[in-house]
Structure 1
Amino acid sequence: MHRFDRDRLRECPETAFRELRRIRFHDVDAAGIIFYPRIFEHCNDTLIAFFEATGAPLHEQLREPAWLAPVRHAEADYFAPLRFGDEVEVALVAAHVAESEVTVGFRLARGADRTVCVVAQCVHVFVDPKTFRRSVVPEPLRSAFLRIGA
């Protein structure tokens, strides 16, 4: 299983897939800052948008699935608070592709100055939906992940 160094994920290369999002009321806890697991929802939503942008929309793939990609590992490092109403750039900044799994790295940066608030990474294992045995990372996703680069 590949893991990125958190300092590597603070960088945002030109090849990154970016999405602007807003921190919603239901994202925050009683302290008024983002509730820690909500980070993974924002990352997952950006990953789904990435799938669509690469020509592999997840909603179509799930109608008659040729593959599934459950999460094997997820982690996040928090550097600065995110609050209700903050505009955040969620960027898929790194991808490491192995035969049957992909480690994707994300950076969440707030405001016009792009203050890095969180970096996260998830390892997805591609499996056959009937047998749940590992399968190869399918095209066009493999090529799209490789373009983002490690």
Structure 2
Amino acid sequence: MIYRRSIRVEFNHCDPAGIVFYPRYFEMTNSVCEGFFRDVARYSFAAMMAAGEGAPTARMQADFHAPSRLEDMLDWRLSVEKLGRSSIGFRIEAHCGSSHRMTALPTLVLVDEAGRPQPWPTHLRDRITAFMEEPDEP
């Protein structure tokens, strides 16, 4: 299954030439991950923090295929590549129309207050697994 979210490129995302400054893509990928946890896993980052947990990014690989410019509407597409004991690997792509702009492969890890990895709770693992098993829309 694919989780989708649209984000319009704003002035704060751009360098002086009006092109997305690459660190802003990482902020947007984090926003897409946060939306996934809120909307699909039904465990928002706020709820994680209130429970003394978090899901920081432990690894990030990225490829930039084409520049994005001010006012472009980016269609972000997230799929779960791997669900580990305490980690989750995503594939996140940004598209604008037929143009593929960026691919990111972040790995997030569920951690406790001390920053130690901990296993996904059963209810959360079940929701993510169900999402992974849903067929993609045509």
Deviation string 1:14-59 (CA, Å, 9 cap, x unpaired) is x100011100111011222110011111111111111111311222
Partner AA of 1:23 in structure 2:
V
Find the counterpart in structure 2 of residue 8 from structure 1. none
Structure 1 residues 136 and 37 mapped into 2: Cα distance closer, same or farther (>3 Å)? same
Please report the TM-score for the alignment, with normalisation by the length of structure 2: 0.85
- For the pair 1:72 / 2:55, whether they are aligned, the reply is no
Report the aligned-residue RMSD: 1.7
Q: Which one has a larger percent helix, Structure 1 or Structure 2?
A: 2
| Aligned pairs (5 A) from 1:1-150 | 15-54=1-40, 55-65=42-52, 67-111=53-97, 113=98, 115-129=99-113, 131-146=114-129, 147-148=131-132
Moved more, 101-110 or 45-54: 45-54
Please report the TM-score for the alignment, with normalisation by the length of structure 1: 0.79
SS at match of 2:22: coil
SS at match of 1:123: strand
**Percent sequence identity over aligned pairs:** 27
Q: How many residues align?
A: 131
SS at match of 1:62: helix
Gapped regions of structure 2 (runs ≥ 5): 134-138
The whole-number CA distance in structure 1 between the counterparts of 2:91 and 2:124 is 15
Structure 1 residues 139 and 58 mapped into 2: Cα distance closer, same or farther (>3 Å)? farther
Gapped regions of structure 1 (runs ≥ 5): 1-14
The whole-number CA distance in structure 2 between the counterparts of 1:141 and 1:121 is 21
Deviation string 1:95-134 (CA, Å, 9 cap, x unpaired) is 31111111111000002x3x211000111122221x3322
Partner AA of 1:91 in structure 2:
R
